Chain A
């Protein structure tokens, strides 16, 4: 009986702790007034906390059936997926905010990537691994996997594009991207494995893995939220205004053609 209790205790710990940390994240977002810049991320965090309270209550209240719990879980999952896309949009807007050129060009490129990923997501849904059951929760699982794949692809595209262009991330934006990207990539793997390995032991192991990774992601958000932003660079290391102006003028000349 002892290992069973330990498993349950560990699962509860991994379920509760990230949401306690999310309360800290929400408080920090409020204190730093980041909800003005990242309203979707703030809503996403609040939604995650509210969903936890709802599901935890359903889990502990006597008389709630597994089916009722599953309905609540599925409904809230769709809300979280929608908010996740909002967060990605917010992150991309923040990343390109200082460049009017990238606001247009990179957005167009990301739209193409999103379209491509969407097609892949639909194809994945059609040829989904696992049983071809028409039950609603199987459908929700396929939607979750497709959405996780699209989100993961979009976040990777953002990271690679930023690296390619030499864009500098703000710490908070990078933290949100890193956390959400990790969560999405693990979701893709876990949902694919869940569809194939349906034994109780495999499910327990996957639940532990996903909740553990969720804790890691929330820790990433917390860490980056409290990390100080980059300090202003001392001008002597950058060069004099004359030098910068020379670069600027010459680059403008380059682009006139």
Chain B
């Protein structure tokens, strides 16, 4: 009798869990449909976000020599706490770079719909590169998250990411010198 009641309760929990999952999925669908209708891409904000990334600080955060120095001079417990904070800060850098790449992808796709063939062709390439950059930030983000969770693992060097940030900063510096276009809000209508 008790066994039967437990089985029934288990089945009911499974059924209602599925219902909850289905409604959650439906909620996401409705949210995406409503939110995705018309979105403004604020290019200036994306540029400013990118610029706010301090490449020297980031390079320091992921520098293996710096990590080795801290490991040698701090107690293991303090080292773990400090490393977690450092990797978390680096993760936020990667996240912000990813967000800027997404904004750039939207700009590129809007450009692809341009009536000017040159702009449209450039848009294709910008979009493709922005997707690659976004993907790269995800991989780096996962790597950094692993180090946040397991600070005792000796970290591999992340020089390529640091270089990427440096180049991004240079890009934005140059873009800042363009008088037109960049400071405009780029409106991109999605589905």
Contact = CB atoms under 8 A, between A and B. Distances in A.
Interface of A: 98-102, 105, 124, 127-130, 145, 149, 152-153, 155-156, 159-160, 163-171, 173-175, 178, 181-182, 184-189, 191-193, 195-196, 230-248, 250-255, 257
B191 A238 contact: no
A251 B15 contact: no
Given A189-B22, A196-B15, A166 B103 contact: yes
B155 interface: no
A224 to B, nearest CB: 8
Contact of B126 (A153, A233, A251): A251
A130 B22 contact: no
B129 A130 contact: no
A234 B105 CA distance: 17
B187 interface: yes
Most B Cβ at <10 Å: residue of A98, A128, A248: A248
A251 B123 CA distance: 12
Contacts of A235: 114-116, 119
**Chain B interface helix/strand/loop/mixed:** helix
Interface string B149-178: 000000000011001100110110011001
A253 B166 CA distance: 11
A249 B122 CA distance: 10
A253 to B, nearest CB: 5
Contacts of B108: 244, 247
Contacts of B186: 237-239
A105 B135 contact: yes
Interface of B: 11-12, 14-16, 18-19, 21-23, 25-26, 28-29, 32-33, 36, 101-116, 118-119, 122-136, 159-160, 163-164, 167-168, 170-171, 174-175, 178, 180-182, 184, 186-191
Given A166-B134, A240-B181, A251-B104, A192 B19 contact: yes
A254 B137 CA distance: 12
Contacts of B180: 239-240
Nearest to B13: A129
Contact of A169 (B14, B131, B136, B191): B191
A168 B106 contact: yes
Contact of A129 (B18, B104, B130, B182): B18
A169 B119 CA distance: 20
